[in-house]
Structure 1
Amino acid sequence: MAKHLTDLDDAVDLILSHTYGPLRMGAPLGIGKPHRLLNALYARIAAEPSRSWMLYTALSLDPPGGGKGLEGRFVKPFAARHFGEDFPRLAYVQAIKRDALPPNIEVEEFYMQGGALLRSTTAQRHYASLNYTHVARALVDRELNVIVQKVAREAGGTRLSFSCNNDLTQDAVDAIVARGLPRPLLVAEVDPELPWIGGTAAVDEDYFDLVVSPPGPYPALFGLPRQPVSDVDYAIGLYASTLVRDGGTLQIGIGALADALCHALVLRHTDNATYRRVLAAMDPELERHPAVIASGGLDPFAIGLYGCSEMINEGFKRLVETGVIRRKVADDEALMQRLADGTANLGDQARLERDGEYLHGAFYLGSPAFYEWLRTLPDDQRRAIGMRRISLINELERGRESLARLQRHDARFFNSCMMATALGAAVSDGLEDGRVVSGVGGQYNFVDMSNALDGARSVLMFRAVREDAGAAESNVRWNYGHTTIPRHLRDVYVNEYGIADVRGRNDEDCIIAMGGITDARFQQALMAQAQQAGKLRAGFHAAAHWIDNTPAHLSARLRAFRHDGTLPDYPLGSDFTDVEQRIVKALGWLKANTATPWKKIGTVLRALGARSDDSEAMARMELAAPGNLSERIEAKLLALGLRETR
């Protein structure tokens, strides 16, 4: 029987009394972490040097601090409103950022908040490079003795739901027991803010040894602020959307590229004529691209898609709402086989409609609006969303492979990378000096699955150019000192300049295809490197249209659709007010135009004569009446940024 407590200190007492040696604890990634309980543990163990605590987790979310200057003026009020003044920042994260963890506490993560811990030697030394599906096995090797997790409680009932994180706990517990090790102490913290998800995410409360229900008020769930989508991001999303086949399966990652892809899929389904006009403006020959013909399409979704993704996010919400995600599957192989071969009867169809699910995920993460959507879903829609173990989402599980193949036909796995090489390798998680930006996560799992499933494709999306210290650099590299996806698994790459289908191609053809989506400023040098390496014929001549691969050409093609609202700045909604959206644009312009010392000097000189007529923006940044020289300079810079982005 589960023991029930309401006091966090009492829960800490019980956890510590259960473990007489080192505390080896697992906690879910993302919003499944019980922040207040973890902070209470940290405070107790930091004060007891004789106790040791090893925490194994991932994606320890931390609200932005704000920094100084204009950024701080913008971020601090926004963070207070968006995350809440009482949001419990994780104490161990603050210590890791300062490289100041007590010697008796160690934190090991297999996935980090993107770029947040590049400067922390503590985080970098204790990063564990693991495929998502290998984490449960690694937790067994670490001999976990405690697992803590947030859960939702069924209204009026006694069941608990893993809700936001059904990814690893059950897999880890089963693997630990199968190894012959003691079952870990399982601790649930009930959070009334978590949406209830039933089905396979629900368990009896006695699955846990300890259920903690702290008194309110309850801090809000960590909400990811929805980011603006640029011309580059939209072009990538639009190109990628043409590779999706009606009636197929969809997996997507997170971020502006995923948002752009989801918006493009919605546009394809709900306003197909406009969708085709946008594509024609980008590339009049796109509908005749071999990859689009072989693997995708441009028509609305008559059947709809089945979503099967490790993370359910904002984009899936919009895809469900607009009817793009609606193809249901059932955990019944015989039924799925009859549907596949066309012998299903009316009873089969009725059962699929009643019991089937059209969206599966292992964890979810999004904005406050996304969480509210999950809380208020009608029961029939809620039943169609299933939170599953990571072993059921990210791989073809032994014993269920034939069922998964029937459910996941025509699968498209869309993920992002930072760079790609001309020979088809992808750089997604780290830098060539070994530092980790984020983590492998599930990306390799999905690339591998795309090779295992008939008709599946892996699509890696990336921006063709990045700014480094004010200078443009190509993200199509000849070589790089670290890769996440090896070149022998190359499939489809998409950036703002098009689609490169490189699966099964020889090296020379791969190089030419990748050259075709390289920014024009870097094409000649890249081809010269290939020729020097003996990988490209000496007489090679680039196609005439390669010279159009420039930001100016891209913006010109999309300008009309940006202006008429077809491609809005925030396609999935915004957490910023209208005033804040204007400020975000201005700050983005200022960042780009102060990236080098000479640019900064030029921008400051231009700003000296700037005046702002946006009193709302100046008031929001507390610069309506600047009091000292520093504030006057900030006010002038903001006025210039607002003027330039009007």
Structure 2
Amino acid sequence: MAQADTFSTAEACVDAVLAKVGKRVVLGLPLAIGKANHFVNAIYARAERDPEISLTIFTALTLERPSASSELQRRFVQPLLDRLYSDYQDLAYNQARRKGLLPKNVEVCEFFMQPGSFLHSPSAQQSYVSANYTHVPRDLLDRGVNVVAQMVSPAPDDSGDFSLSSNPDLTLPLVALAQASDYPHITMVAEVNPQLPFLGGDARVGRKLFDFILEGDTFDCQIFPAPNPPVQLTEYALAFHIAGLIKDGGTLQIGIGALGDAICHVLRLRHGNNRDYREILQSLHGDGEHRLCKLPLELGVFENGLYGASEMVTEGFLHLRRAGVLKREVCGDASLQQLLNAGKVSDVVDEKLLIALREAGRVQCPLREEDTKFLQAMGIVDPSYSWRGHKFLDQNGELEECDLHSSGGRKKLLGACAGRKLPGTWLHGGFYLGSGAMYKALRELPAGEMAGINMTAIDFINELQQDRALKIAQRQHARFVNSAMMVTLNGAVISDGLENAQVVSGVGGQYNFVAMAHELPGARSIITLPSTRQSAGHIRSNLVWEYPHCTIPRHLRDIVVTEYGVADLRGKCDRDVIVALLCITDSRFQQELLEKAKSAHKVEGGYEIPAEFTNNTPERIRSVFQQGHRRQLLPYYPLGTDLTREEAQLAIGLKALKEEGRKIWELWPLLRRGRKVCKSQAPEYRDIHACLERMEFEYSDTFEHRLEAYLVAGSLLLNLDNDRLLGDVTDPTAAE
């Protein structure tokens, strides 16, 4: 391949791309933060001006800066835009799509949308592609993709290499699939951003991968931050139940959001504050006779640790690593990993390791050339040796026998590698997304720690088809944790859409992980959801009798967790599945759902829900966490936040206010409490007044603005527990 052309402006790069591929452009973009925003905006602007250009954009999870649809939201959002997103460039196609202004010659297809963001966008709903994450490279080729544009990070050395960093997930398998199928050349565009953390491993690629490169100060921009959301007690209750299913020495996959943060924090508690962890979990655990789940509660600390294999790498994994939880490392060879699993060898390079590999048939004696390459790649044989027939040429030009029979021969082969730790991976990921603090932590990771992270192709993470023996050896006791919107009583899972066929998000990798859990020995799929949701002031059950469609069919049912417990559904008959799910349903909805099951003859007419499961109420959950010092152990922001203290408090109050969703005259009790707070100068209201000042309500001179101030103050008064906030939020503006 010829030397890549380099440009300092996106417009010039667009000229070169169009000259190379013509006016029909099928543009593949990474999901989330890996998009080449400057290039994408330039080619979209060109297509807007030139109707002869046909532009199809195929992507997922298009991120955009927070927006405000009301004055109340504007007061909260505007300072965030100024501080966190000051030089982030929004994608123009997304704004046009939201407003229904996409030109006829432009189509935007997403296989996963920012959750809930495009429910009212006809263009987004009509162009949604329902696909498993791992099938996207195939779908891109079927669509005729001819351009890929990706943000990359420059190597810190003089190699000229780049890192796909946040997004090797689809790029690596797409390139491999295209090469394997003799697909026409795909034009590759790199947009170089030094602020993107440089990750090595599979994500490191040569400059020759790209046809065109965008470099310069214009592209040196902050990475899109996703501030950590506040964690409520419901998420913590879920997290404790989930943590009780995760075996020491196992494998962990989780997603982004409050629940993921809660799980990571509770796992830290289990390891570092085990007594409190045990007491809280056993207080929440009402299934004393293990009627719903036969798996024993996992209560111990992490002596062997966990290994992460997650399509999405979240900030919580870095916290687990620092806490000594994510410390189980895996190697890249099935035979060696099996020996490590069985305890036949340690992770220290010694003669015993060479003997074990020979006895397992992984290498021969004398060593073949392929044996030598393998052992040197694994850091076992001295890299200075060069294979010559049945002998080695050492660095002094002398020939040595490739002998594993004698101790002297083995010691010579080990050379400088003797006594070293085997290189290992503690986290495999497909893409990452998180807060500004997460990106900073990745940029500052010591080289030794960074070497343990391998961002790689999504088919490696989400499937067993390739390297099956290796993945089985690596993914011991795997727990794949995924969130759902609803679960039917027959065990079907709804995660991506509404009953009217509107898409909320997408399938993503959830089906992959559920299916893999049924194939992988010792693995379990854990579907999590709060038992209820609040909508327009009404409480609704998330466990339902039926639903028009599902994301995960009932024949793949496994483990379902709500804040009230764990239901193990694998291998159970329909009747037992239904009664298990009823036992983790909010008690306000149990009888209605039970009657539907009885009327359908799925449960016997005389069945009654056992007494220990009839007190599934929010009050019981709160009572567990209000005992002693437990609240202080469960902060709203366990992993920290990019928000200031006042913003962190407001995020809690405004979220609760949004969930109320009622007309203003129906919120009179809230208004009355809020008015009292606004009029009072009592010390206990000092934090609320600071929040109102952050929202600039101290200057409110209209009746409408005063009512809004009262609502915010009332919501903060009712929903904010400062015992859970103190010590967990720092002001990111303090150092400015």
Which category of TM-score, normalised to the shorter sequence, fits these structures? Answer: over 0.9
Q: How does 1:316-331 map to 2 (within 5 A)?
A: 316-331=317-332
Q: Matched residues in 1 for 2:287 and 2:612: separation?
A: 12
**Per-residue deviation at 1:339?**
1.3
TM-score by length of 2: 0.85
Counterpart for residue 590 of structure 1: 657
Q: Matched residues in 2 for 1:459 and 1:645: separation?
A: 29
Counterpart for residue 304 of structure 2: 303
Counterpart for residue 547 of structure 1: 614
**Per-residue deviation at 1:260?**
1.0
Taking a change above 3 Å as real, the CA distance of residues 617 and 608 of structure 1, as seen in their structure-2 partners, is closer
1:397 pairs with one of 455, 461, 465:
465
**127-136 or 150-159, larger mean C-alpha shift:** 150-159
Q: Matched residues in 1 for 2:117 and 2:629: separation?
A: 31
Counterpart for residue 167 of structure 1: 169
Counterpart for residue 124 of structure 2: 123
Taking a change above 3 Å as real, the CA distance of residues 469 and 258 of structure 1, as seen in their structure-2 partners, is same
Q: Matched residues in 1 for 2:179 and 2:333: separation?
A: 28
1:555-577 alpha-carbon deviations (Å, 9 max, x no partner): 11112367641111111112221
Please tell me the residue identity of whatever aligns with 2:490.
L
Does the CA contact (< 8 Å) of 1:429 and 1:437 recur in 2? yes
1:134-170 alpha-carbon deviations (Å, 9 max, x no partner): 0011011011111111111111321111100010112
1:360 pairs with one of 399, 419, 428:
428
Moved over 4 A (4+): 290-293, 348-352, 561-564, 605-610
Q: Matched residues in 2 for 1:162 and 1:561: separation?
A: 48
Counterpart for residue 360 of structure 2: none
Q: Matched residues in 2 for 1:333 and 1:359: separation?
A: 17
Secondary structure in 2 matching 1:294: coil
Q: How does 1:477-492 map to 2 (within 5 A)?
A: 477-492=544-559
Q: Matched residues in 2 for 1:608 and 1:347: separation?
A: 70
**Per-residue deviation at 1:45?**
1.2
Q: Matched residues in 2 for 1:425 and 1:562: separation?
A: 39
Q: Are positions 1:566 and 2:633 aligned together?
A: yes
The unaligned stretches of length 5 or more in structure 2 are: 354-378, 381-419, 721-736
Q: Matched residues in 2 for 1:82 and 1:58: separation?
A: 23
Q: Matched residues in 1 for 2:630 and 2:234: separation?
A: 15
**475-484 or 176-185, larger mean C-alpha shift:** 176-185
Please tell me the residue identity of whatever aligns with 2:136.
V
Q: Matched residues in 1 for 2:671 and 2:292: separation?
A: 48
TM-score by length of 1: 0.96
Counterpart for residue 619 of structure 1: 693
**215-224 or 609-618, larger mean C-alpha shift:** 609-618
The sequence identity of aligned pairs, in percent, is: 41
Q: Matched residues in 2 for 1:119 and 1:208: separation?
A: 38
Q: Matched residues in 2 for 1:429 and 1:562: separation?
A: 38
**Per-residue deviation at 1:626?**
1.3
Secondary structure in 1 matching 2:623: helix
Q: How does 1:96-111 map to 2 (within 5 A)?
A: 96-111=97-112
**Per-residue deviation at 1:422?**
0.7
Q: Are positions 1:493 and 2:494 aligned together?
A: no
Q: Matched residues in 2 for 1:13 and 1:247: separation?
A: 53
Q: Matched residues in 1 for 2:627 and 2:268: separation?
A: 19
Please tell me the residue identity of whatever aligns with 1:110.
F
Q: Matched residues in 2 for 1:325 and 1:290: separation?
A: 31
Taking a change above 3 Å as real, the CA distance of residues 403 and 585 of structure 1, as seen in their structure-2 partners, is closer
**Per-residue deviation at 1:285?**
5.4
Q: How does 1:195-344 map to 2 (within 5 A)?
A: 195-216=197-218, 218-283=220-285, 289=290, 294=295, 297-344=298-345
1:463-501 alpha-carbon deviations (Å, 9 max, x no partner): 100112211110000100110000010000001010001
Counterpart for residue 149 of structure 1: 150
Please tell me the residue identity of whatever aligns with 2:201.
G
Taking a change above 3 Å as real, the CA distance of residues 364 and 73 of structure 1, as seen in their structure-2 partners, is same
Taking a change above 3 Å as real, the CA distance of residues 105 and 645 of structure 1, as seen in their structure-2 partners, is same
Counterpart for residue 20 of structure 1: 22
Secondary structure in 2 matching 1:560: coil
Q: Matched residues in 2 for 1:120 and 1:564: separation?
A: 41
1:81-135 alpha-carbon deviations (Å, 9 max, x no partner): 1222x22111000011111101111010000001001110100100000000000
**Per-residue deviation at 1:211?**
1.4
**553-562 or 594-603, larger mean C-alpha shift:** 594-603
Q: Matched residues in 2 for 1:211 and 1:323: separation?
A: 40
Counterpart for residue 381 of structure 1: 449
Q: Matched residues in 2 for 1:14 and 1:562: separation?
A: 63
2:705 pairs with one of 627, 631, 644:
631
Counterpart for residue 475 of structure 1: 542
Please tell me the residue identity of whatever aligns with 2:608.
H
**Per-residue deviation at 1:354?**
3.8
The unaligned stretches of length 5 or more in structure 1 are: none
Is the radius of gyration larger for structure 1 or structure 2? 2
**Per-residue deviation at 1:210?**
1.2
Secondary structure in 2 matching 1:24: strand
1:365-391 alpha-carbon deviations (Å, 9 max, x no partner): 110000011000011100000011011
Does the CA contact (< 8 Å) of 1:508 and 1:535 recur in 2? yes
Taking a change above 3 Å as real, the CA distance of residues 373 and 88 of structure 1, as seen in their structure-2 partners, is same
Q: Are positions 1:440 and 2:498 aligned together?
A: no
Counterpart for residue 181 of structure 2: 179
Q: Are positions 1:516 and 2:583 aligned together?
A: yes
Q: Matched residues in 2 for 1:574 and 1:525: separation?
A: 41
**Per-residue deviation at 1:2?**
1.6
Does the CA contact (< 8 Å) of 1:470 and 1:596 recur in 2? no
**Per-residue deviation at 1:509?**
0.4
1:580-629 alpha-carbon deviations (Å, 9 max, x no partner): 22222332343344525653345345545542543422221111121222
Does the CA contact (< 8 Å) of 2:38 and 2:219 recur in 1? no
Secondary structure in 2 matching 1:11: helix
Taking a change above 3 Å as real, the CA distance of residues 63 and 562 of structure 1, as seen in their structure-2 partners, is farther
Counterpart for residue 374 of structure 2: none
Provide the aligned length of Structure 1 versus Structure 2.
643
Counterpart for residue 401 of structure 2: none
Q: Matched residues in 2 for 1:546 and 1:293: separation?
A: 16
Please tell me the residue identity of whatever aligns with 1:619.
E
Q: Matched residues in 1 for 2:514 and 2:629: separation?
A: 33
Q: Matched residues in 2 for 1:75 and 1:363: separation?
A: 27
Does the CA contact (< 8 Å) of 2:236 and 2:634 recur in 1? yes
Secondary structure in 1 matching 2:700: coil
Please tell me the residue identity of whatever aligns with 1:417.
A
Q: Are positions 1:59 and 2:61 aligned together?
A: yes
**543-552 or 122-131, larger mean C-alpha shift:** 543-552
Q: Matched residues in 1 for 2:629 and 2:309: separation?
A: 31
Does the CA contact (< 8 Å) of 2:286 and 2:613 recur in 1? no
1:209-246 alpha-carbon deviations (Å, 9 max, x no partner): 11111324733111111011111110001100000011
Does the CA contact (< 8 Å) of 1:361 and 1:388 recur in 2? yes
**625-634 or 402-411, larger mean C-alpha shift:** 625-634
Counterpart for residue 35 of structure 2: 33
Taking a change above 3 Å as real, the CA distance of residues 401 and 629 of structure 1, as seen in their structure-2 partners, is same
